Each structure stands twice: as C-alpha cells, then as structure tokens.
Amino acid sequence: MIDRVAGATATTDEAPLALAQAISLSALPTGRIIQGDCIAAMRALPAASVDLIFADPPYNLQLGGELSRPDGSHVDAVTDHWDKFDSLAAYDAFTRAWLAEAKRLLKPGGAIWVIGSYHNIFKVGAAIQDLGYWILNDIVWRKANPMPNFKGTRFTNAHETLIWASTGEKAKYTFNYRSMKTLNDELQMRSDWEFPICGGAERLKKDGHKVHPTQKPEALLYRILLACTKPGDVVLDPFFGTGTTGAVAKRLGRRWIGIEREGVYIAAAEERIAAALPLDESALTTMQSPKAAPKVAFGTLVETGYLEPGTVLIDARRRFSATVRADGSLASACGQAGSIHKLGATLQGAPACNGWTFWHHEAQGTLQPIDTIRQTYLLATQP
C-alpha cells in the first residue's frame, strides 16, 4: 500500500479544529486505495471530509453482438461484468445511491465531477439535479482520435461529457480562473476541451493487453484538478480503476483516496502511482495544447450560406464546370459527382486534386478560387 502524510499529522499544528472535524481528518485514509464496493466504502468514510470527487462510473453500454472493422478485424469492446446492469431502473438506482453517498462526503465548499457518454450521462445529470447538487458547467471532451463508426450508421461518437457540480445552489466552490486562462493562452477556458484518447506510453499494459478498457488520459484529470482544487486538498475517486486520478493528484501535490473493487486494477494503480513524479515546470508546458490550424470543410461554406447550392464553379482554364449541391458535393454536366477534390481529380484524369485551388467562381467579373471564400469564412468566425 502507498501512504502519504495523513491529514491529522499535517493539520494539528495549525488553527484549532472542531472535534468532529479533527476526528474526520485523522480517520481519513489519504494516499490509499480502499478495496471494495464503492457505496459501502464511502459509507465508512466521515461526512464533510473531501474537497473534490472525480467519478468515472460504469456507462452501462448495452452493446449488441460482435463488431468488426471493414478490414474484418475484431473490435475489442467493453464487455466487463462491472458494466452490466439488469435494467435501466437498476442502473438508475445504483447511480442515485452512490451520488447520495458522495454528497455526504463532500465538504460544504466541495464539488463533484462525473464523466459519461450518452448511454448514461443523462441519467447521471438528472440524478445530480434531483439530489440537490448545483450544476456549474457541463464539459465536452472532444477526442482527437476517436474510434470511427465502422458501419456508417450514425455520426462518429467523438466526445464524452463531464458534469461539474457544487453541493448546492448557494454553495461556494473552488475555481482557479487565472490558472485556466493561463493554460489557454490568455483566453477564458471554454467548456469544450480537446485531448487525444489515452494511448502510447501512458496506456497501462500487461502481456501486451490493456489493463483497463477505459483508462482516461492524465491530461483530463490534470485540467480538472488544476481548475478545482488547491494544493493539499483531498480528492476522492470512487471508481479508481488504474488510478489516473491518484497519479495526477500526486503530481500536483493533492491528497487522494481511491476506491476500487478489482484487485488487478488496484495492483496496477499502486505500481503506477509509486512511479509518478511530482510536477516540474516542463510538464506544465507540455499541457498547453498547440492550437491546430482550424479546418474548414467545403460543406461548411454551403451550410453557413457563404456559398449557395446551385452555384456554378469552373476551373481556371474554363475547361470544366460543376454545380454545387446541397450536401457540398459537386455535379458536372456529364453526370459525374463527388467532393470538390474527387470530382476535380476525376475530370482531369488525375489521381488527386486540391479542389480549393482548382475550382473557381465568378466574382466581380473575375475568377476567384473558392479558397478565398474559405479565408473569408475563417476571418469572420475566428477570434
């Protein structure tokens, strides 16, 4: 077991504490992973003793059969027993039970973060409101590299949702506004965050297989703890898994408590946290996500009215022409159709073509490449 300085030792020298609070702090098993059911484990902890709770509960995915990629390979889905519930109602009851225990553990000025997907997040959010928490923001984690929708049946599921809530409508809470603004190049931090999914060296593996099917990226926890806790605060994670919350808390000098049922995850988490190093300056700078050049799809110009469906485009030498259609595809007179790039390539018999510079439109008597419209759009919408 890992053990960091217990709360009592660190605080008894300071300002006097109420007896109950002193007992609470002395009993608080920070720097430890408690093995067992999260509701039972939370019941054993003292009330009003935790500053922040981060929870990544089971999503209750309810997947159908097997799924294969177009190349025939098999998709390794989340089929673990801990994600199985008998019914929507059973999941709902479980959700309300652990959220109620969590509320009891939070100090009056504490707060909770919960992450989920559309499978469960609406149930979670509704329960949070019903239990008297006060939602402060919902945050969208935009995945830089999500798994595609292999069957072409829906939109690519490219994000997850987090809810940040205080203990009540009038409750205080911690929000390090300046830290967030600094982290975001002196612009207010928005409610949509982009991070890659957890992979590479950060992804815990054993015998070549991932230890946990849903390990979260440390960057996500880093931003949350930096935004909503102070050094020394106690962070509880009731679904600890492989300990991302503990590792990041240690790096940032926050105390932590983990609750986890599965021994395999606990073993991996302990090893991982033991190896975690306190933050140095360079780690902070790597957190600053480089601002990617904004991409604009041709279809966006059609949707937003910068270019009307029905507009006729021609190439610079006026050899080919095509009409813009409602979905951002182009149709030529000879019946061929495709994206600006594909149709340009087809008509020229070329393997590829940059449609942005190939296609032009008539404007003030001159031919303008459609790329100028994209520049206009970017100027109008970028801060």
Applying CB under 7 A, the span of 95-103, 136-144, 264-272, 273-281 interacting with DNA comes to 136-144
179 binds its own copies (CB under 8 A): yes
Q: Which of residues 86-125 bind its own copies (CB under 8 A)?
A: 88, 117-119, 121-125
* Tokens of residue 357, six digits: 């510079």
Applying CB under 8 A, the span of 41-49, 264-272, 295-303, 363-371 interacting with its own copies comes to 295-303
Rounded to whole angstroms, how far apart are CA atoms 297 and 28?
A: 53
76 binds its own copies (CB under 8 A): no
Question: CB-wise, 9 or 376, nearer to DNA?
Answer: 376
Among 259, 309, 257, 254, residue whose Cα is nearest residue 279: 254
282 binds its own copies (CB under 8 A): yes
Beta-ladder partners of 116: 161
Cα–Cα distances (Å) from 302 to 178, 191, 296, in that order, read 39, 27, 11
190 binds its own copies (CB under 8 A): yes
Question: CB-wise, 16 or 278, nearer to its own copies?
Answer: 278
**HSE-CB of 7 using CA atoms within 13 angstroms:** 25
Among 144, 83, 124, 113, residue whose Cα is nearest residue 221: 113
**HSE-CB of 324 using CA atoms within 13 angstroms:** 23
Question: CB-wise, 12 or 149, nearer to its own copies?
Answer: 149
Q: Which of residues 346-375 bind its own copies (CB under 8 A)?
A: 348, 350-353
Applying CB under 8 A, the span of 26-34, 103-111, 149-157, 364-372 interacting with its own copies comes to 149-157
Query: From the list 4, 159, 342, 361, which residue makes contact with DNA (rule: CB under 7 A)?
Result: 342
Task: Characterize 36-71 residue by residue with b for buried, 16 or more Cβ atoms within 10 angstroms of its Cβ, and e for exposed.
Answer: eebeebbeebbeebbbbbbbbbbbbeeeeeeeeeee
In the complex, minimum distance from the CB of residue 198 to its own copies, in angstroms, rounded to a whole number: 11
Using a 10 angstrom Cβ sphere, with 0-12 exposed, 13-18 middle and 19 or more buried, the burial of residue 194 is: middle
In the complex, minimum distance from the CB of residue 23 to DNA, in angstroms, rounded to a whole number: 27
Q: Which of residues 96-135 bind DNA (CB under 7 A)?
A: 117-119, 129, 134-135
Residue 328's binding partner among its own copies, DNA, none (Cβ under 5 to 8 angstroms by kind) is its own copies
Rounded to whole angstroms, how far apart are CA atoms 240 and 260?
A: 5
Q: To 10 degrees, the CA torsion angle through 106, 112, 115, 120? A: 70
Rounded to whole angstroms, how far apart are CA atoms 305 and 299?
A: 10
**HSE-CB of 32 using CA atoms within 13 angstroms:** 13
What 8-state DSSP symbol labels residue 74?
Answer: B
79 binds its own copies (CB under 8 A): no
Applying CB under 8 A, the span of 11-19, 46-54, 76-84, 213-221 interacting with its own copies comes to 213-221
In the complex, minimum distance from the CB of residue 357 to its own copies, in angstroms, rounded to a whole number: 9
Query: From the list 1, 18, 154, 317, which residue makes contact with its own copies (rule: CB under 8 A)?
Result: 154
Residue 371's binding partner among DNA, its own copies, none (Cβ under 5 to 8 angstroms by kind) is DNA
153 binds DNA (CB under 7 A): yes
In the complex, minimum distance from the CB of residue 208 to its own copies, in angstroms, rounded to a whole number: 22
Residue 310's binding partner among DNA, its own copies, none (Cβ under 5 to 8 angstroms by kind) is its own copies
Q: Which of residues 188-217 bind DNA (CB under 7 A)?
A: 188, 196-201, 203, 208, 210, 213-215
Applying CB under 7 A, the span of 26-34, 39-47, 53-61, 273-281 interacting with DNA comes to 53-61
Query: From the list 48, 61, 131, 331, which residue makes contact with its own copies (rule: CB under 8 A)?
Result: 331
